[in-house]
Homo-oligomer: A and B are copies of this chain.
Amino acid sequence: MSASAALDRLAAEVHHDVQARIGEGRVADYIPALARIDPRQFGLALHTCSGETAAVGACRQGFSIQSVSKVFTLTLALGRVGDALWQRVGREPSGSPFNSIVQLEREQGIPRNPLINAGALVVTDAILAGRAPQVAVAEILAYLRELSDDMHIKVDREVAQSEADTGFRNASLANFIKSFGNLVHPVEHVLETYFNQCALRMNCVQLARAGLFLAHGGVDPLTSHRVVDAQAARRINAIMMTCGHYDASGDFAFRVGLPGKSGVGGAILAIAPRQAAVAVWSPGLNAAGNSLVGSLALESLSRRTGWSVF
């Protein structure tokens, strides 16, 4: 069997493993654009470092990537400001959202890590670099288009607007961080940029492709373009492992054993170092706010492939 056929079979087997569970979980309901999505959907796409791809289910159905965007803005910010970023944001797991706020006060406005909302706001502030929000959003969009090699990626304006209309918790966080002097730009600029990056609309094929450089030492294996240096790529993976699933990061490491980042829209991007990037999407969330079926699919994939880093 060719490598490509084996990959197709793998994708199909994983799909089969979770078939009966599709539709479980609750979709995010804090904005209408997410609340009305049918939870009975599942997509998966893989890109290997050697160039094979496989995809099943609703793998070309677009979704709001939400917090998965934090991986890419982190990469962008590290490219822009380098290790100076770590003066402004930590890299420790945060525990519960509750802890997140408590820590923010104890640690004088330094968010625990760049993959929680507080930290991502600081990262976004670093990306703004004195520019208008729409310029920064355009840069982020261009970056994702390039990484995924697909010019069709867009920001979902309805989602971005809904986030802005209801984003009081994020506005609270941003003002809190600002009160410690850890945001350079006006709070509204940071929030506008942040709400737009969360509203990026992608599908599994695009998302797996965009994350492939993280599985290959920071270099896109298909174009040989270096996105970040090898150390930065390893470090981003490390942060995804310890912090990528909110207060269930430990559980994801335990069950799946791969660096990953989930979003409340139901997507998870997982990286199998030296092997592949994988994107899954299924909108029903578990109690920790991560895709229920997506997590199961990655657990199945990890078991079937032995890609667990442990």
Q: Which A positions have Cβ atoms within 8 angstroms of B?
A: 90-96, 98-99, 101-103, 105-106, 112-113, 168-169, 171-176, 178-179, 187, 233-235, 237-239, 241-243, 247-251, 253-254, 257, 259, 273, 308-310
**A168 contacts which of B113, B176, B233 (Cβ < 8 Å)?**
B176
Contact A235 B310 (CB under 8 A): yes
Q: Residue of B at shortest CB range from A309? A: B309
**A237 contacts which of B113, B178, B251, B310 (Cβ < 8 Å)?**
B310
A99 CB to nearest chain B CB (Å):
6
A144 CB to nearest chain B CB (Å):
22
Contact B178 A273 (CB under 8 A): no
Contact A175 B172 (CB under 8 A): yes
Q: Which of A173, A248, A310 has the most CB of B within 10 A?
A: A310
**A169 CA to B187 CA, complexed, in Å:** 12
A277 CB to nearest chain B CB (Å):
13
By Cβ-Cβ distance, the 5 closest A-B pairs, closest first, are A309-B309, A93-B93, A172-B175, A168-B179, A237-B310
Contact B250 A92 (CB under 8 A): yes
Contact B242 A253 (CB under 8 A): yes
Contact B250 A239 (CB under 8 A): yes
A98-B106 contact in complex given A249-B242, A310-B238, C-beta closer than 8 Å: yes
**A93 contacts which of B101, B172, B238, B249 (Cβ < 8 Å)?**
B249
A180 CB to nearest chain B CB (Å):
9
**A95 contacts which of B94, B178, B179, B235 (Cβ < 8 Å)?**
B94
Contact A250 B168 (CB under 8 A): no
A273-B310 contact in complex given A98-B106, A242-B93, C-beta closer than 8 Å: yes
